[in-house]
Amino acid sequence: MTDTASSPIVLVTGARGGIGRALCVQLQAQGWRVAAVGRDAAQLADVPADAHIAADTTTPEGATEALAQCSAQLGAPSHLAHCVGNTLIAPLHRTPATQWREVLRVNLESALATLGAWIESRRAAQAPGAAVLVSSVVAQIGVANHEAIAAAKAGIDGLVRSAAATYAAQGLRINAVAPGMTDTPMTAGLLKLPAMREGAGRQYPLGGVQTAEQVAQVMAWLLSDAASRITGHVLPVDGGFTHVRPLVK
């Protein structure tokens, strides 16, 4: 761990998930001070981080608490990586309202709450910063049986673009990644058999199923000074799924 005062501080929500954990590992290895956030502190214990914060960032109160705890333990976070989310694969006519409301709550409402709390923190500090959220390829191209999660992630896309426009003059950069199928605990059930994994991988022009580390690398870049001229973008990390039609032989 690093305690260098000049190192940037990043708040990573959903840190016990596949992408969140991979991002914590990468950023800490690069010298960042990392505050890992999750609902259960005990489950965060093995996540590499300089601070472990128990907070439910699907609510405005929980998001504000996460920012407050980070500020108390490490300092106000100049950067945010919001990785909280769930998924649902089901046609809309088989999706009860209780289920699609939960998908919206965990994905879209958490993004609104957490990004809003971080923006307030940056405005109070009168300091710049960068945030990256997690969308999905299903918000950019129609994929059967993904109506609820597509709607939630499309909301994140709109949030990123509008917030980037609102706060650019204050030096805040706000972007998102839109991963395709990624090998994480969330998708383990979909990839548990070799035939299922092979079939999933064939959907992508570059082939195969990507790793959480590959998505985290792009998120780390968007947070870094190397992406200092990038804001308002939702960057697909999908092996070409949304934009490429490979040559059929």
The CATH number linked to 44 is: 3.40.50.720
pLDDT at 185: 72
Strand positions, DSSP E, the chain? 9-13, 33-38, 51-54, 79-82, 129-134, 172-179, 182-183, 210-211, 234-237
Domain-located, residue 202 = no
pLDDT at 172: 98
Average pLDDT over residues 203-221: 90
pLDDT at 124: 96
Domain-located, residue 95 = no
Whether residue 209 is predicted with pLDDT greater than 70 in this model: the reply is yes
pLDDT at 162: 98
Q: Could you tell me whether strands 234-237 and 210-211 are parallel, antiparallel, or unpaired per DSSP bridges?
A: unpaired
Average pLDDT over residues 27-46: 95
pLDDT digits (tens, 9 = 90+) for 128-170: 999 999 999 999 999 999 999 999 999 999 999 999 999 999 9
* Out of 98-102, 131-135, 213-217, 245-249, least confident range: 245-249
Domain-located, residue 92 = no
Average pLDDT over residues 14-41: 96
pLDDT digits (tens, 9 = 90+) for 161-207: 999 999 999 999 999 999 987 876 766 566 655 766 666 667 778 88
Supply the pTM of this predicted model.
Answer: 0.92
Domain-located, residue 32 = yes
> DSSP state, 50?
S
The set of long-range contacts for 156-161, using a CB threshold of 8 Å and a minimum separation of 24, is 156/107, 156/108, 156/111, 157/234, 159/108, 159/111, 159/112, 159/115, 159/133, 160/133, 160/135, 160/232, 160/233, 160/234, 161/232, 161/234
Average pLDDT over residues 108-116: 98
Whether residue 246 is predicted with pLDDT greater than 80 in this model: the reply is no
User: What's the Cα-to-Cα distance from 148 to each of 84, 107, 191, rounded to whole Å?
Assistant: 16, 10, 21
Domain-located, residue 66 = yes
pLDDT at 24: 98
Cα 159 → chain centroid: 13
pLDDT at 200: 67
pLDDT digits (tens, 9 = 90+) for 66-87: 999 999 999 999 999 999 999 9
Total structural domains within the chain: 1
Model confidence band, residue 2 (pLDDT cutoffs 50, 70, 90): very low
pLDDT at 188: 56
- CA 38 to CA 57: how far, in whole Å? 8
Domain-located, residue 98 = no
Q: Three-state DSSP class for 132?
A: strand
The tally of CA atoms less than 13 A away on the side-chain side of residue 247 is 1
Domain hosting residue 166, numbered range = 9-85+108-140+156-179+212-237
Domain-located, residue 244 = no
Domain-located, residue 133 = yes
pLDDT at 206: 85
